[in-house]
Amino acid sequence: MRTSLREAKLDVVAINRILANEGILDAYGHVSVRHPEDPGRFLLSRARSPEYVDFDDVLEFDLTGESVESTNVPVYLERFIHAALYAARPEINAVCHNHTLSILPFSISTTTTLSRTINASKLFGEGVPVWDIADSFGPETDMLVRNIEQGRSLAKTVGDSALALMRGHGSVVVSTQPRNVVNACLSMDRSAKAQLSVLTLGGLRTFTDVELLERSGLPGGLRADDRAWEYFVQRAGIVDLAPRGEE
């Protein structure tokens, strides 16, 4: 079923609030959703802390990172992250940029990479790439993605992965389904915490090839349930996100 623009905007609001409530986002970081009617645009809040994002905060941007609407409100500086990823990956429909504490050690370690350690970390694939802004733009940046060229460099490092770390900064997580970006971000966080723990214990029991296979759907053609989304919505205290005057 095709998502409407209204539903996509509501998802932007809900995902921001959920990831803030779950500790993935704090006062900073942001989530976007590709425009459901125009793949050359995406939906992103004005510059606001994720916990407080509301329906009327959601703006439309093009794939160069520029607002398509006339607005005087401040916008996120690092909107170019989203623009470049949507341009490079036609199949993705959600992007989260975050500074989750658990992954930061792996973004700066020269000896240990973020890898598959628990079931939740299957999305890491063959390994999580790390983007170092200094490699392409020198050692004198403030490490923020301030223009589309830097965004494209990051997107190139992400490649076809589900996520990438940004050296000393944070990460980007992408998903083909907007609501699934919540599970992807939480899986990243759990997996990083598990790996940090096992490093202190010593030894590591790895997956078998069969265990690493991705499986989707349920036997008999049944659709997977939506219990995770319901759970996170309730935890975040989300009751009604529709703007006043709408049913």
Q: What is the pLDDT of residue 155?
A: 98
The answer to whether the beta carbons of residues 163 and 184 sit under 8 Å apart is yes
3-state DSSP assignment of residue 43: strand
Which of the 8 DSSP states describes residue 207? P
Q: Which domain holds residue 213?
A: 5-235
Cα separation, 49 vs 99, in Å, equals 13
Query: Other C-beta atoms within 10 Å of 82: how many?
Result: 30
CATH number at residue 93: 3.40.225.10
In a domain, 143, yes or no: yes
pTM given for the model: 0.91
Q: What is the pLDDT of residue 225?
A: 64
In a domain, 192, yes or no: yes
The pair phi, psi for residue 214, each rounded to 5°, is -85, 130
In a domain, 127, yes or no: yes
Non-local CB neighbours of 181 within 8 Å, separated by 6+ positions: 15, 31, 94, 95, 96, 173, 174, 175
In a domain, 241, yes or no: no
Encoded tokens for 60 = 């439309």
The answer to whether the beta carbons of residues 238 and 14 sit under 8 Å apart is yes
Helix H or strand E encompassing 172: strand 170-175
Q: What is the pLDDT of residue 247?
A: 40
Helix H or strand E encompassing 171: strand 170-175
Number of domains in the chain: 1
In a domain, 243, yes or no: no
In a domain, 244, yes or no: no
The stretches in the chain having pLDDT less than 70 are 1-2, 214-225, 240-247
Non-local CB neighbours of 100 within 8 Å, separated by 6+ positions: 23, 24, 170, 171, 185, 188, 189, 192
Q: What is the pLDDT of residue 215?
A: 58
Cα separation, 135 vs 132, in Å, equals 6
Runs of H (alpha helix) within 63-137:
79-88, 104-108, 133-137
Sheet bearing 30-34, strands edge to edge: 58-62, 41-45, 30-34, 94-98, 170-175, 163-166, 130-131
Phi and psi based region of residue 138 (left: phi greater than 0; alpha: psi -120 to 50; beta: remaining): left
Q: What is the pLDDT of residue 223?
A: 45
Q: What is the pLDDT of residue 61?
A: 98
In a domain, 242, yes or no: no
